[in-house]
Structure 1
Amino acid sequence: MAIPLVVGVDGSEASLEAVDWAAVEAVRHDVPLHLVYAVVPDHGAADLIAVAMERARKSAPSLRLSSEVLHEDPASALLGQGRNAFALVLGYRGRGDLAGLLLGSVSLAVSARADCPVVVVRGEAEYRNGRFGSVVVGVEDGEGSGTAVQFALREAHVRRCRLVAVHAWSVPPGALSPPPPSGYALEAHCRPPAQVLDDALRGRAERYRSVTVSRQVVEGPARQALLAAATGADLLVVGARRRRGHLGLQLGLVNHAVLHHAPCPIAVVPQM
């Protein structure tokens, strides 16, 4: 049996927009959609789930659909569901979060700790409805982006759209003056930025020959480069490293910035 795409619901408009997005996504990938409402205590769970399921059926009538109410805190419940999920889909802000927050506490906690990809559905309707025909993936030097690139290629393939791979770089401080840098700074300086993209795409892109891939090398901060590219994207994909000796992921400043400010849905893909 196919593992499901799981979407968290709480009755907020943001979570219902996540249901809309997830329903279409599940059909694209031919996987079931599982709606999860986690609450302590139980207040109107049956009515809330019914509304969410009706919304999902309206977005994708052919969808294989199930639902579940879990009596535990939402972050823990969703993290448990993520151990056997195609991906987790969340709204950018939940019903209980303060209106001034750019990203809900549950969405941030799950993005930072889940074992599977997490999609936070952000942006206006034009970004959620596939208007732009583009998936953007951020590529960093090293091995941290491999799973994210694979995820992004698969998304571009099922959407029949183009993939834009973005790598931002800057000259390490002191790289052009003596004494010469050592360790990672020297390696980054000696490694041409275009090669970083080529290495990340090599082999993986060959599996998705139908996908048109373009490369963007940007000198400057990665968060600015990714947010700029996302203004013309239906989905932004970033990778997250696993922290050695700790539970969860290393989101880093760049991922925090795009999670809070991206104009479109954003997928955080754990390094495998």
Structure 2
Amino acid sequence: MRSILVGVDGSDAGLRAAECAAREAVCRGIGLTLMTVYDGDLTVSVSRWPSDLLEREAVAAAEAAAAHVRERWPELDLDVRVVDGSPAAELLRHAQDFDVVVVGRRGRGGFPGMRIGSVAYQVAAHAPGYALVVGEEGMDPDRTEVVVGVDGSRHADRALLAALRTAELHGDRVRAVWAWSAPVFAEAGIGPWGRVEEEMEEEQNEALSAVLARRLLDFPDVEVVRQVVRSQPMAALLDAAGDARMIVVGARGARGFARLALGGVAHALLHHAPCPVLVAHQD
């Protein structure tokens, strides 16, 4: 990993994102870049504002976040950037040079009651690599489990790799969750469902073992808990994430539509997960 990019905007959410990103950067021995983006075109429609007001506010927000981070992690290699443009577009454009882009779930804008802001959602949906979205609860450094959704898809395989790497660095345990659903005929009570259920559950366990076998040889010291659950993926992952430090999920799962930037499971986790969500896009 080359470095971590985090978007800050003067909000508490931005500071929580910066703290989370700083911990990861220190643990990985890499640098951290704080970026504040302001839209200078907004001053065109508000003629009474000084033309440089937004820029000055952006610089102040970036400097405050940098001071906050330096006070807690003085050894961190820290870079600060202030950029004019659309916040989501600029974060995504600069994210090409970083492996992970980190944002708060909601920034200074948006409407009361919104679970996730438009910038965070766009970054999570379109990041070129990994996007980490940090909610109001921040990241609890005392928790020692990383939950990852596994379903055999390419996105999920990249999520599994990220979960294993993160766990290896932090000394965490990985909980690999494989969710499956019964066929329609079984839910309708048609046929010898008891025997079929046992066979299907065995098949699901074998499928999870096969997926993990491709990755675990490279992470012999990481403890992995295998959890096969007859449930919808969203519900299974939310249940598993109650005590997690982080949850990792593919941008789309095995059943997702190719044209969708984010599948339903990732979408739901971004809104409801009780811990930061790392979204993995395929290579």
Alignment RMSD (CA, Å): 2.2
CA contact (8 A) 1:123 1:262 kept: no
Partner of 1:202, secondary structure, is helix
Aligned with residue 167 of structure 1, among 178, 182, 188: 178
**Number of the residue aligned with 1:271:** 282
User: What TM-score do you get using the length of structure 1 for normalisation?
Assistant: 0.88
Comparing both structures, which one devotes a greater share of its residues to helix? 2
Separation (CA, whole Å) in 1 of partners of 2:82 and 2:237: 36
Q: 1:181 maps to what in 2?
A: none
- 2:146 aligned with 1:135, yes or no? yes
Return the match for 1:255 from 266, 269, 275.
266
1:245 CA displacement: 7.8
1:78 match: 91
Q: Give the match for residue 125 of structure 2.
A: 112
Match of 1:156 in 2: 167
Task: Give SS of 1:108's match.
Answer: helix
SS in structure 2 of the partner of residue 207 of structure 1: coil
Greater shift, 148-157 or 132-141, is seen at 132-141
Deviation at 1:132, TM superposition (A): 1.8
Q: State the match for 1:210 in structure 2.
A: 221
SS at match of 1:201: helix
Q: 1 CA distance for matches of 2:112 and 2:16?
A: 17
Taking a change above 3 Å as real, the CA distance of residues 136 and 33 of structure 1, as seen in their structure-2 partners, is same
How much has 1:177 moved relative to structure 2?
5.3
| Cα distance between partner residues in 1 of 2:123 and 2:154 | 23
Offset at residue 193 of structure 1 (A):
1.2
1:54 equivalent in alignment to 2:67: yes
Amino acid of the structure 2 residue aligned with 1:146: D
Task: State the partner residue of 1:87.
Answer: 100
Does the CA-based 8 Å contact 2:105-2:133 persist in structure 1? yes
Q: Please list the CA deviations of residues 199-230 of structure 1 after superposition, one character each: whole Å capped at 9, or x if unmatched.
A: 22113111111110010111111111101111
Aligned residues: 258
SS in structure 1 of the partner of residue 161 of structure 2: helix
- SS of the residue corresponding to residue 153 of structure 1 reads helix
Paired residue type of 2:22: A
How far apart are 1:145 and its partner, in Å? 1.1
Decide which of 196, 206, 231 is 2:207's aligned counterpart: 196
Q: Residues 143 and 177 from structure 1, CA distance in 2 versus in 1: closer, same or farther, beyond 3 angstroms?
A: farther
What is the TM-score with the length of structure 2 in the denominator? 0.85
Is 2:6 the counterpart of 1:7? yes
| Runs of 4+ in structure 1 over 4 Å off | 175-178, 242-246
**8 Å contact kept, 1:240–1:269:** yes
Q: 1:239 to 1:245 in 2, by over 3 A?
A: closer
Contact 2:155–2:280 (8 Å) recurs in 1: no
Is 1:65 aligned with 2:78?
Answer: yes
C-alpha contact 2:249 2:278 (8 A) present in aligned 1: yes
Report the AA paired with residue 237 of structure 2. Answer: L
Query: Structure 2 counterpart of 1:83, which letter?
Result: Q
Contact persistence 1:241–1:271 (CA under 8 A):
no
Aligned pair in 2 of structure 1 residues 245, 220: CA closer, same or farther (>3 Å)? closer
Contact 1:235 1:266 in 2 (8 A): yes
CA distance in 2, matches of 1:113, 1:172: 33
Question: In structure 2, do the counterparts of structure 1 residues 204 and 245 end up closer, same or farther at CA, with 3 Å as the change threshold?
Answer: closer
Question: For 2:59 and 2:153, how far apart are their aligned partners in 1?
Answer: 47
Equivalent residue of 2:94, what SS?
helix
Which of these two proteins has the greater Rg computed from alpha carbons?
2
Q: Cα–Cα, structure 1 residues 167 and 190, in superposed 2: closer, same or farther, change >3 Å?
A: closer
